[in-house]
Amino acid sequence: MKALRSTNLFVLFSPSQKDLGKYADQYLNVLKQQTRLVEQYHGPVAMEERKKCLELERVWMLCQILYFPGADQEDISIRLMNWYNKCHKSYLHEFDRQSIYYSQSTFDHADFWPYTTRLILLGQLKSVSTLMKHVLSDHRFKPHKALKDT
C-alpha cells in the first residue's frame, strides 16, 4: 500500500507533456546562449569549444523531435528532414548551378543528375521542381516517347 501511495504522489507531481516541452525549449535556449558566448572568442581552443556546443545543440534538437513532440503534430519525417537540413548545411556549393541552368542542354550537363540527386536527398523538392520545369521548358529538350505518352 505504501508503494501505491508513493506512485500516486509521483503522478501528482510529475510534469505534463506540455511542461516537458517547455523545459526542453529552455534547455535548448541555454545551449544556444553558451554557443553565442563561445563564438565571441577566436583561436583553436575556442573553435573546438564552439564545435562541441553546436554538437550538443544538434543532439538536443534531435531529442526534442524524438522524445518531446510539440503540439503541432507535424509528420516526424518532415521534422527530421528539417532538422537534418538545418544541422548539416547542404553541400550544394560544389555545383556550379548557373552552369547547370544555363548550359546549352541543362538535361545533358555533366552535373545535372548529381545535383538533382543531392537536392532530392536533402528534401529540397521545390528546387527540384523548379529545375525540372526549367528543363522541360527548354525547346531543345526532346522527351522520350514514353514520357510523351503519359
**Are residues 51 and 20 located together in one domain of the fold?**
yes
Q: Indicate whether 2 belongs to any domain.
A: no
pLDDT of residue 62: 92
pLDDT of residue 14: 67
Q: Which range (16-25, 34-43, 70-79, 119-128) has the least confidence?
A: 70-79
Neighbours of 64 (CB within 10 A): 19
Q: What is the mean pLDDT of residues 20-35?
A: 89
C-alpha count within 13 angstroms, C-beta hemisphere, residue 60: 17
- Reply yes or no on whether the pLDDT at 45 is more than 80: yes
**Are residues 65 and 107 located together in one domain of the fold?**
no
Q: Indicate whether 51 belongs to any domain.
A: yes
Contact 109, 95 (CB under 8 A): no
Parent domain of 70: 14-75
Q: Indicate whether 37 belongs to any domain.
A: yes
Taking alpha carbons only, the member of 133, 144, 124, 125 closest to residue 101 is 133
* Helix, strand, coil percentages in the chain from 3-state DSSP, rounded to 5: 70, 0, 30
Q: How many domains, in total, are found in the chain?
A: 2
User: Mind listing the pLDDT tens digit for each residue in 110-137?
Assistant: 888 988 988 888 788 898 999 888 888 8
Residue that wins the pLDDT comparison between 142 and 49: 49
CA dihedral 52, 54, 55, 58 (to 10 degrees): 160
pLDDT of residue 58: 92
Q: Indicate whether 9 belongs to any domain.
A: no
**Are residues 63 and 104 located together in one domain of the fold?**
no
Confidence band for 21, pLDDT divided at 50, 70 and 90: confident
Q: Indicate whether 84 belongs to any domain.
A: no
Q: What is the pTM of this model?
A: 0.56
User: Mind listing the pLDDT tens digit for each residue in 61-110?
Assistant: 999 888 887 666 678 888 888 888 788 766 667 778 888 888 888 878 88
